[in-house]
Amino acid sequence: MPSNGNGRCGGISVPPVFLVSICLLVAAPPSVASAEKLLIAEFSAETHPLIVETPEPPTKEQIVLSLLEEARFAFSGMIYGFDFVYTPSDPLRKVAEEFDLKPVAQLRWGDPRMRVLDTRTESDLLFARITYSLADFQLPRWQGWQSNSLEHASGLGASSYLKGPSSRHAAIVEAIKNAIREQVRQRVYNRPREIRGSLALLDAPRIAVREGNYEATVRIALDVKSIIPYTIF
């Protein structure tokens, strides 16, 4: 591997930090013993986005790297989860909606355990299957989020396509917030002042372009720690 500059993989110029991740393919299916330690998901992005955030349209290399960053967020959220504080809007009390989502921990950029298995192009979309091999210390964390004692919720979020590909992340965060809101609505009749808790992604978010928006769908495991009502004097 070169010590500086870019390497190459299948005709794609790749920064050294991800040369192994992009070039190394799985030679054989994982064994049954190792399969439960492997997270795998498919991510996609437009090959010719309407809004370009760089002087030139993105290259295949740049799209793959952006999908690796999306996978890093997703896998981090599946393993470690997030802490959140949610203040629902309340027009009568003139309270604006606020949502704070903080990752408990994040996989480092360039983690060699993350690999691109393969890519394919359909119409104007590039798909990449990306995998992450869980370390022994990470496995209990991921398994803990699979517990049947936790609530499961789904949410849909949207963010304007005209803001460019960086708007994809905003759509995911909106979807997570909406999943929390809809789940809590089933338990609490009156609008609460604040909701606090933790959550994890059960799988990678799905993102599509619909009606001028990036639209994200998520499934989460939810651990609501406190629901604080408004106090009536």
HEC string of the chain? CCCCCCEEECCEEECHHHHHHHHCCCCCCCCHHHHCCEEEEEEEEECCCCCCCCCCCCCHHHHHHHHHHHHHHHHHHHHCCEEEEEECCEHHHCECCEEEEEECCCCCCCCCCEEEEEEEEECCEEEEEEEEECCCCCHHHHHHHCCCCCEEEEEEEEEEHHHCCCHHHHHHHHHHHHHHHHHHHCCCCCCCCEEEEEEEECCCCEEEEECCEEEEEEEEEEEEEEEECCCCC
Question: pLDDT (tens digit, 9 = 90+) per residue, 56-111?
Answer: 888 999 999 999 999 999 999 999 999 999 999 999 889 999 999 999 999 999 99
Classify residue 165: in a domain, yes or no.
yes
Q: Is 2 part of a structural domain of the chain? A: no
Q: Which residue has the higher pLDDT, 16 or 160?
A: 160
pLDDT above 70 covers a percentage of the chain that reads 82
- Predicted confidence at residue 29, as pLDDT, reads 36
- How many domains are contained in the chain? 1
Q: What is the pLDDT of residues 41-57, one digit of tens each?
A: 999 999 988 777 767 88
Kindly state whether residue 1 falls inside one of the protein's structural domains: no
Residue 152 is assigned to a structural domain of this protein? yes
pLDDT band at 232 (very low <50, low <70, confident <90, very high): low
Domain that holds residue 32: 7-228
Query: Does the residue 201 lie in any domain?
Result: yes
Looking at residue 56, what is its pLDDT? Answer: 80
Query: Is 154 within a domain?
Result: yes
Residue 66 maps to a domain: yes
Q: Structure pTM?
A: 0.83
pLDDT at residue number 149: 92
Residue 193 falls inside a structural domain: yes
Name which of 104, 67, 84, 91 is nearest 197 in CA terms. 84
* pLDDT number for residue 165: 84
